[in-house]
């Protein structure tokens, strides 16, 4: 680019140029300016790039070793091992290079890792060993190699499966069974090995209880001991935790409760146990998932649906009972008044019916007495003809248990017997007796009036000597009696 002084020196020359020459001169100067600017910008970018630190993508050795083993790059793996990288490095799922090589059936890589000191019984996050992986994939040569290196034939994963449980290849299965027989493994040994993880957990729980530790303290990924027992199907451990008030609503980092874990890993017995102790069938995780949503096992899903239906039916029944109780409580005062009013009306009506029934009883004719024989009549006549003592007065009072009290005074004289019933007041009927019981009581206490008797067959006797009949009538208001004729 031209300097300022150079431009000033060109001014007289430019002033003498024609218009066309001036235009060409300006275009030339502009091209020079653009070229100079592009060169300066490029130099400035170079200076900025050289001043910035150079960045590189770096991966941890666990990733690079596992990636090299997955590519079956023996040389790169050898370099890593020689540089001091541990062959037991694992990724976030606990998978080691030996696991990956057993899955991919890289026998030379497995041999190299084992010679470098890789653990033959390394476990991933679900307790799978390299022998589990080789047996599941049916890699016979690798199974033989791992067994020769001392692989554990009774290793149990989180699902409770051993390598021979997962093997479907006939030759590989024969190899495993032969090795188990040669080591003297029996069915009892197998059962003990399956129960060993739960026994270890039970021992740990008892130690925590003795130390007074918090059973709901979160562990890896926020899971509690009850989460672990539920996921692994440890029913005895879960029962012990629940017995000591372990929380059923504790959530891990994903918002899962223990029931979510039991449902996801298909632990039917744990699902029943947790629900029986009050686990929430509608509990939701951070992703708004219920235990039924995360369950993939059909048997566990059917059990969850069954338990949910029973739980909902129980809640509906309890809701109806609470609603009925609220209605009863809210209407207790008014309802009590209604009951007392109705009871009073019923009592009054009952008294009226009882009085009417008593009147009907009294209006009925007295029961017929049996016909007296001739000998009875003779004896009665002789007894009555005997003269009683003179001026002997007998006072006899009969009290009726009913609406009235009847008093009769009887006087014995030489001329005959005279009885005069007298009406007196009496208390009302006792409420403790029914109408028919009171009627029978009234009849039993009723004063005796002589009935009409037949004329004796003995000659010389007249009707007047035996006395005239007496009549009386009972009404609800009282007793009306008529004096016998003399």
Dihedral sign computed on CA atoms, order 239, 245, 251, 253: negative
pLDDT tens digits, 416-471: 444 444 444 444 444 445 555 555 555 555 444 444 344 344 333 333 333 433 44
pLDDT tens digits, 226-284: 999 999 889 999 999 999 999 999 999 999 999 999 999 989 999 999 999 999 999 99
- Planar angle of CA 439, 445, 447, nearest 5 degrees: 120
Long-range (24+ apart) CB contacts under 8 A made by 412-419 are 412/388, 413/388, 414/387, 414/388, 414/390, 415/486, 416/467, 416/486, 417/450, 417/467, 418/484, 418/486, 419/449, 419/470, 419/483, 419/484
Question: Whole-angstrom Cα distance, residue 166 to residue 103?
Answer: 14
Predicted pLDDT of residue 363: 56
Dihedral sign computed on CA atoms, order 351, 356, 359, 361: negative
pLDDT tens digits, 41-87: 888 887 776 666 666 778 888 889 999 999 999 999 999 999 999 99
CB 393 within 8 A of CB 409: no
180 membership: H or E segment, kind and range: helix 170-182
Question: What's the CATH class of domain 195-323?
Answer: mainly alpha
Predicted pLDDT of residue 382: 55
Lowest mean pLDDT among 38-47, 117-126, 317-326: 317-326
CA dihedral 86, 87, 90, 94 (to 10 degrees): -130
Residues 6+ positions from 206 with CB-CB distance below 8 Å: 240
Predicted pLDDT of residue 147: 96
The SS3 assignment for 425 reads strand
Question: Whole-angstrom Cα distance, residue 288 to residue 281?
Answer: 13
| Average pLDDT of the chain, as a whole number | 76
pLDDT tens digits, 176-217: 999 999 999 999 999 999 998 899 999 999 999 999 999 999
Kindly report the number of other CB atoms within 10 A of residue 404's CB atom.
Answer: 18
Q: 323 versus 20: which is more confidently predicted? A: 20
Question: Whole-angstrom Cα distance, residue 301 to residue 40?
Answer: 73
pLDDT tens digits, 83-101: 999 999 999 899 999 999 9
Kindly report the number of other CB atoms within 10 A of residue 167's CB atom.
Answer: 24
Closest among 255, 244, 197 to 216, alpha carbons compared = 244
CB 90 within 8 A of CB 122: yes
Where exactly are the structural domains of the chain?
4-46, 61-182, 195-323
Predicted pLDDT of residue 463: 35
CATH tag for 61-182 (out of 1.10.3720.10, 3.30.230.10, 3.30.559.10, 1.25.40.20): 1.25.40.20
pLDDT tens digits, 124-180: 988 999 999 999 999 999 999 999 999 999 999 988 899 999 999 999 999 999 999
Lowest mean pLDDT among 1-15, 43-57, 265-279, 354-368: 354-368
CB 280 within 8 A of CB 249: yes
Alpha carbon 29 to chain centroid distance?
A: 92
- Distances, alpha carbon 116 to alpha carbons 29, 121, 251, 262, in Å: 74, 15, 42, 39
pLDDT tens digits, 306-320: 888 887 777 777 766
How many angstroms separate the most distant Cα atoms in the chain? 201
Question: Whole-angstrom Cα distance, residue 66 to residue 121?
Answer: 17
Residues 6+ positions from 416 with CB-CB distance below 8 Å: 467, 486
Average pLDDT score over residue span 390-416: 41
Question: Whole-angstrom Cα distance, residue 132 to residue 111?
Answer: 17
Q: 287 versus 435: which is more confidently predicted? A: 287
- Distances, alpha carbon 119 to alpha carbons 115, 124, 139, in Å: 10, 12, 19
Predicted pLDDT of residue 449: 42
Predicted pLDDT of residue 40: 86
Most confident range (mean pLDDT) of 286-290, 393-397, 413-417 is: 286-290
Strand locations in 354-454 (E): 393-397, 404-412, 417-425
Predicted pLDDT of residue 212: 92
Question: Whole-angstrom Cα distance, residue 159 to residue 126?
Answer: 8
Predicted pLDDT of residue 256: 95
Kindly report the number of other CB atoms within 10 A of residue 415's CB atom.
Answer: 7
Domain 195-323 in the same topology as domain 61-182? yes
The 8-class DSSP code of residue 90 comes to: B
- Residue 472: pLDDT above 50? no
Alpha carbon 447 to chain centroid distance?
A: 74
118's torsion region: left (phi>0), alpha (psi -120 to 50) or beta? beta
Pairing status of strand 417-425 against strand 472-475: unpaired
């Amino acid at each position: 680019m031209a300097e300022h002084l150079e431009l000033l020196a060109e001014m007289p020359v430019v002033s003498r140029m024609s218009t066309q020459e001036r235009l060409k001169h300006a275009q030339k100067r502009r091209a020079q300016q653009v070229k100079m600017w592009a060169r300066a910008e490029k130099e400035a970018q170079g200076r900025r790039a050289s001043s910035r630190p150079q960045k590189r993508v770096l991966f941890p050795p666990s990733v690079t070793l596992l990636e090299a083993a997955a590519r079956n790059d023996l040389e790169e793996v050898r370099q890593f091992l020689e540089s001091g990288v541990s062959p037991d490095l694992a990724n976030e799922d606990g998978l080691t290079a030996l696991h990956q090589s057993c899955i991919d059936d890289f026998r030379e890589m497995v041999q190299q890792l084992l010679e470098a000191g890789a653990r033959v019984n390394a476990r991933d996050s679900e307790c799978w060993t390299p022998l589990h992986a080789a047996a599941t994939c049916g890699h016979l040569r690798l199974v033989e190699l791992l067994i020769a290196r001392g692989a554990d034939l009774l290793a149990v994963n989180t699902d409770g499966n051993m390598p021979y449980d997962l093997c479907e290849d006939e030759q590989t299965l024969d190899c495993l069974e032969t090795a188990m027989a040669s080591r003297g493994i029996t069915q009892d040994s197998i059962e003990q090995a399956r129960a060993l993880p739960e026994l270890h957990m039970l021992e740990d729980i008892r130690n925590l209880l003795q130390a007074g530790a918090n059973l709901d303290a979160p562990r890896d990924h926020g899971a509690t001991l009850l989460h672990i027992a539920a996921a692994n199907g440890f029913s005895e451990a879960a029962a012990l935790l629940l017995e000591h008030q372990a929380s059923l609503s504790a959530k891990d980092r994903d918002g899962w409760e223990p029931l979510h874990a039991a449902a996801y890993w298909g632990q039917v017995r744990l699902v029943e146990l947790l629900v029986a102790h009050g686990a929430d069938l509608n509990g939701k995780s951070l992703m708004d998932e219920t235990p039924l949503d995360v369950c993939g096992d059909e048997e566990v899903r059917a059990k969850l649906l069954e338990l949910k239906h029973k739980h909902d039916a129980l809640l509906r029944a309890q809701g109806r009972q609470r609603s009925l109780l609220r209605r009863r409580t809210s209407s207790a005062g008014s309802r009590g008044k209604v009951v007392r009013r109705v009871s009073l009306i019923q009592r009054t009506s009952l008294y009226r019916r009882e009085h009417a029934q008593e009147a009907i009883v009294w209006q009925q004719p007295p029961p017929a007495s049996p016909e007296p024989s001739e000998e009875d009549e003779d004896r009665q006549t002789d007894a009555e003809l005997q003269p009683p003592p003179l001026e002997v007065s007998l006072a006899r009072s009969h009290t009726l248990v009913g609406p009235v009290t009847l008093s009769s005074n009887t006087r014995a004289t030489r001329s005959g017997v005279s009885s005069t019933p007298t009406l007196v007041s009496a208390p009302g009927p006792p409420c403790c007796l029914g109408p028919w019981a009171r009627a029978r009581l009234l009849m039993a206490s009723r004063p005796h009036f002589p009935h009409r008797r037949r004329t004796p067959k003995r000659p010389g006797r007249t009707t007047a000597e035996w006395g005239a009949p007496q009549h009386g009538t009972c009404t609800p208001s009282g007793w009306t009696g008529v004096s016998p004729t003399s």
